[in-house]
Chains A and B, each alone.
Chain A
Amino acid sequence: MRDFRGGLLPFLLILPAIVYFGIFFAFPLGEGVRLAFTDPRTGVGPTLTNFETLLSPRYLFGDAIINTFLLSAAVIPIQLGLALVIALLVNSRFFGSSAFLYLAAIPIAISEIAAAIIWLSIFTSSGYLNSFLFSLGLIERRVAFLGIEQPAWLFGAVAMTEVWRATAIVMIILVAGLQSIQKDYLDASRVFGASRLQRLRFVILPLLKPTIQTALIIRTVLAFQLFAPILVLTGRLYPVLASETYIAYVNVREVHVAAALALIIMVVSTLFVLFYLIALRTRWRP
């Protein structure tokens, strides 16, 4: 007989967490999957009818898929780059760097909707951007940046709002990662005559890889869930997966279709997480 140290105690200790997980994650997840594969009229399943509805012209599914990837592909690299620059700057401990850190972190404290409304007041046709361009004499009439005829501006406005709003969270994660890098490595590289750039390339970035991985996973998963700022800024003119889920659930009241969409978002997010885990695997070579 093997010796279980502590007997049942460890299991009892994690029991509350398991129960919590079961009630608030596993059960709703199972329910969501069941809904997605149940026929809304007859209640019979499994069936793919909800996915067929999803492909009907009522939902802008094709556009939503393209837009979701396009937005993530444009926004996440910018956020990562920008966040890395700010984090390195903060980590250089210049005078007033902690005040700067707090300022740069402000968008974290602002809700999605509030951020969207701030940017709406900039881009709307009676907004700041129009007044600014008008006062410079660059335009004669108001331009409807957020309108049917300006798809590039719609995309730009959403992307800018996202960069402004969510770069800070990436930056905070990276600052935490940078501060956990031991000074010894940097000192050693300095002794061997490494330049600043070489230190960044060969010491800091490799050591920061696990942190970057975490930041990327969090950002990508959150990017796929984004809908509120998109609805505020563009209505349904720039549909993404999560905003179509919202339309299905709230406007049309097709709960089963909303569940099917949510399932697709979950599968895509999971695939991305797996991709990051594999692509940014950290190998320790002795």
Chain B
Amino acid sequence: MEPRRFGIQLVVVFVVVGFLAGVGVGYGVFYRPPETPVIIWSSTQLAPPSESEIVIKEILPPFEEEFGVRVTFIPEQNYATFEDRLVSEAESGNVRVTVAGGLHGDFTLLTEREYLMNLDGTSLPGRTFIPGLWNLSRTAANEQFFIPWMQATYAMVVNEKAMQYLPSGADVNALTYSELKDWAQNIADNTAMDRPVGFPAGPSGLYHRLVHGYLYPSFTGKTVANFDTPEAVAMWEFMRDEMWPLVHPSSPTWNFMDTPLLSEDVWIAWDHQARFRPAITDSPADFRVVPSPGADEGRGFIAVAAGLAIMEGAPRPDLGRQLIEYLTRPSVQALLAEKVGFFPVVEEAQPEIEDPAIAKIADGVTKQAGAPDAILATIPGGLGERAGEFSQIYKDVFDRILIAGESITTVLSALDDDLQSLFQDTGAEFPLPG
């Protein structure tokens, strides 16, 4: 019976080795020296693998060393899984996640259900938050449930060659739309460039953001409520009769403005920071990033703002506060800008950015958000699968008035019906500024 005995021995050896290996692996994976506390940070932002890697390898280690803590970063690829986890934890009373990171709209439901810790009176010395973004993080009742963390936005890029044609008396960092028109006219009169302004009005361009977050707030003070008003009619008359003749006729074919800027098809362009960034990083010395223009009501701009919150009843909220303090430090804010392209929300971070191209963009973005007449606009939340219709209405108003040349009053009244019923049907709130 030798073979059978050998077989039994083999099984015993496998079992023992397997047991030991299992214990070893389990120990290695789950065992932590009890003196190192662990907190969990769940975030809808920086969730793509390339960005998560930067968070885990470059952003968090200095914090972990400084405070003797380990942070488990959980990137959530979409809002639904983020909400599911946090809501079920809060409902079951077994909260494991300490810090939640997301866009400001990601906190709406969590704030309403009182799952977030009130952060009023959080002291963050040595940093000045951009006022518009700080206000955005406060509720109507003036309570604070998240701290601003990062921002993304849309701004104007200007070729340095255009600067000498800036009308006297105009400040490039505080332009009005009417001065922009004069500037473009000046360029057209004095150079071979007759249409120096470009907008990303192609099928996947973001020009609807220009219309709802920049033009409408600047000229009428509101985005949705004043869609069809005398001020809106005047605005479209200005755009059609004065601005449009200076806008490059290929604009409806452009989705990203980096190429037209680099090829000097236009000298002045408006786009999302991530979409014009390649032009700036390609030749930082040729361009400057400036705030978008303003008009009678102020300077409308969109902030895609991200923030950090602490879950009510979470373990170690003290460490959560320290993580928020760390992530809003000017040096860390500058690092985030350079590594992942989101821009600082604290003014002190600006001089700490070393990459010249990123510094240039951050400069314009910070000036735009901090402009004294700034009107903060937001991208609507709560429209669900009908968000595309909102965008399309603002594309259509641009296309039908400027490209197809339809009557302004007809277009505004027809699209206003669509717009108002979209918000009535979905029960969504108007995006800022109303």
Residues of A within 8 A of B (CB): 41, 57-58, 124-126, 140-142, 144, 146-150, 231, 233-237, 243, 246-247, 250-254
A247 to chain B: which residues have CB within 8 Å? 203
B389 in contact with A252 (CB, 8 Å): yes
The chain A residue with its CB closest to the CB of B385 is: A253
A252 in contact with B388 (CB, 8 Å): yes
The chain A residue with its CB closest to the CB of B414 is: A57
Binding site of A, secondary structure by majority: helix, strand, loop or mixed?
loop
What's the minimum C-beta distance from B415 to chain A, rounded to whole angstroms? 9
A144 in contact with B386 (CB, 8 Å): no
B248 in contact with A253 (CB, 8 Å): no
With beta carbons under 8 angstroms apart, the residue of B203, B264, B414 that contacts A236 is B203
Contact with A along B197-233 (1 / 0, CB 8 A): 0000111100000000000000000000000000000
The chain B residue with its CB closest to the CB of A243 is: B203
Told that A57-B400, A126-B265 touch, could you supply 4 new A-B pairs with CB distance under 8 A? A57-B414, A147-B252, A235-B202, A251-B388
In the bound complex, CA of A144 to CA of B392 (Å): 26
In the bound complex, CA of A170 to CA of B246 (Å): 44
B263 in contact with A126 (CB, 8 Å): yes
Top 4 A-B residue pairs of the complex, sorted by shortest distance between their CB atoms: A147-B249, A253-B388, A126-B263, A235-B253
Whether a CB of chain A sits under 8 angstroms from the CB of B277 is no
The chain A residue with its CB closest to the CB of B410 is: A57
Residue pairs across A and B with Cβ atoms less than 8 A apart, 12 shown, are A57-B411, A125-B248, A125-B263, A126-B263, A144-B248, A147-B249, A148-B249, A148-B252, A234-B252, A235-B203, A235-B253, A253-B385
Contact with A along B254-283 (1 / 0, CB 8 A): 100000000111000000000000000000
A235 to chain B: which residues have CB within 8 Å? 201-203, 252-254
Given A126-B264, A149-B249, A144–B396 Cβ distance below 8 Å?
A: no
A237 in contact with B253 (CB, 8 Å): yes
The chain B residue with its CB closest to the CB of A239 is: B203
B204 in contact with A251 (CB, 8 Å): yes
**Residue of A148, A231, A246, A247 contacting most chain B CB atoms (<10 Å):** A148
B388 in contact with A125 (CB, 8 Å): no
What's the minimum C-beta distance from A200 to chain B, rounded to whole angstroms? 43
In the bound complex, CA of A135 to CA of B399 (Å): 35
With beta carbons under 8 angstroms apart, the residue of A57, A146, A149, A231 that contacts B203 is A231
B414 to chain A: which residues have CB within 8 Å? 57
In the bound complex, CA of A41 to CA of B195 (Å): 43
A252 in contact with B252 (CB, 8 Å): no
B250 in contact with A236 (CB, 8 Å): no
In the bound complex, CA of A253 to CA of B250 (Å): 25
What's the minimum C-beta distance from B259 to chain A, rounded to whole angstroms? 9
What's the minimum C-beta distance from A186 to chain B, rounded to whole angstroms? 50
In the bound complex, CA of A125 to CA of B261 (Å): 12
B192 in contact with A124 (CB, 8 Å): no
In the bound complex, CA of A251 to CA of B394 (Å): 12
In the bound complex, CA of A234 to CA of B399 (Å): 14
A253 in contact with B389 (CB, 8 Å): yes
B249 to chain A: which residues have CB within 8 Å? 144, 147-150
In the bound complex, CA of A237 to CA of B250 (Å): 10
Contact with A along B393-410 (1 / 0, CB 8 A): 001100110010010000
A233 to chain B: which residues have CB within 8 Å? 253
A251 in contact with B392 (CB, 8 Å): yes
B392 in contact with A252 (CB, 8 Å): yes
In the bound complex, CA of A243 to CA of B388 (Å): 17
The chain A residue with its CB closest to the CB of B195 is: A144
A58 in contact with B195 (CB, 8 Å): no
B248 to chain A: which residues have CB within 8 Å? 125, 144, 147
What's the minimum C-beta distance from B104 to chain A, rounded to whole angstroms? 23
A237 in contact with B252 (CB, 8 Å): yes
Whether a CB of chain A sits under 8 angstroms from the CB of B391 is yes
B387 to chain A: which residues have CB within 8 Å? 253
**Residue of B249, B399, B414 contacting most chain A CB atoms (<10 Å):** B249
In the bound complex, CA of A252 to CA of B399 (Å): 14
B385 in contact with A146 (CB, 8 Å): no
In the bound complex, CA of A41 to CA of B400 (Å): 26
